[in-house]
Structure 1
Amino acid sequence: MAKKKADHSIGTPATTLLEQRGIPYTAHGYVHDPAAPNFGEEAARELGVEPDRVFKTLLADADGQLVVGIVPVNGLLDLKALAKAAGAKKAVMADPSLAERKTGYVVGGISPIGQKTHLPTFLDESAELFDTIFVSGGRRGFDIELAPLDLLSVTDGAAAEIAKTT
């Protein structure tokens, strides 16, 4: 996987941070359908990638602290498991408008990388099954492919079993 050079037509805080840190990634754009009911599944379909390699970024309130959970698009975030990973008693999904304010991204395009506020981040351990995974690049219709360990490095994240299947 070659390092993607700056492309101002797709530049986002996520790509900027990856380039600053010298982390290799591949940018993947596609035409987003605003009527798509599930952004993650749309990304997998449009990119021609199996859904368990495409991860969605979700924010939760864990005992009053916002945390990030990154899980496969074909699964669900296990809030109890996320709370445990974060050292909290309980977690609930964060209000979407709060998620947008704290990350600087819009819902459906929230990247775990380059968020306005540095938040504790947890990546489902299933990501470790793949050489590379896909996460939002910071806008709808734009994903970034990178190694799971690089994602953990750039987010100061931890791997944990936080997904449950649908």
Structure 2
Amino acid sequence: MSRATPATAALQKAGIAFDVVEYEYDPTAGQTGNHAAASIGENPDRVFKTLMVLVDRKPACVVVPVAATISMKKVAAAFGGKSAEMMPPTDAERATGYHVGGISPFGQRRRVTTALAREALDQPHVIINGGKRGYLVRLSAADAIRATSALTADLLA
């Protein structure tokens, strides 16, 4: 694959089947996840965003539907913590090796505990950032879980 990213390289190394889905990233679009879903003509319930959080001050990753809002209380509980907050964008970029808008749960610079919203299990496939803006990967939820050793949890508000 000529346009490999650390995310796609990690998926390939793990032997996980995926398809690349590209779209024209628009930094002015506001809700970039919803913009991505519309751009590729996909149901927003199947397009997932990657958010970096701090649970009891330790980094973690949550992957949830683009139109959803997370509950910090549920995020903390999913990781066995007491409190959760969003990781500052510059810290998320430094920890993952990706730019905001292109953060993937796959192939991160430092592997962290990951949780996938349980809603993913109801979908025939999920579409998750592939490691750069405008670059997504389509794969099964089971494969996304396998690639990240993710737990599945109720994360949504």
Fold-level similarity (TM above 0.5): yes
Identity %: 38
Name which of 64, 74, 86 aligns with 2:57. 64
Q: Which runs of 5+ in 2 are unaligned?
A: none
Once residues 92 and 30 of structure 1 are traced to their aligned partners in structure 2, the CA distance between those partners, rounded to angstroms, is: 30
Q: Paired residue for 2:79? A: 86
Aligned equivalent of 1:3: none
Q: CA deviation at 1:116?
A: 0.3
Matches within 5 A, 1:8-157: 8=2, 10-157=3-150
Read off the aligned partner of 1:35 and give its amino acid letter: T
How far apart in 1 are the matches of 2:96 and 2:149?
15
- The answer (yes or no) to whether the contact 1:72–1:163 under 8 Å persists in 2 is no
- What stretches of structure 1 move > 4 A for 4+ residues in a row? none
Q: Structure 1 counterpart of 2:65, which letter?
A: P
- Gap regions ≥5 residues in structure 1: 1-5
Please give the alpha-carbon distance, in whole angstroms, between the structure 2 residues aligned to 1:105 and 1:27: 17
Structure 2 letter corresponding to 1:98: D
| Distance apart, 1:34 and its partner CA | 2.4
What displacement does 1:157 show?
A: 0.6
Q: Deviations over 1:43-65 (max 9, x none)?
A: 10011001111000001111011
In the aligned structure 1, how far is the partner of 2:11 from the partner of 2:56? Answer: 30
In the comparison of the two structures, how many residue pairs are matched? 157
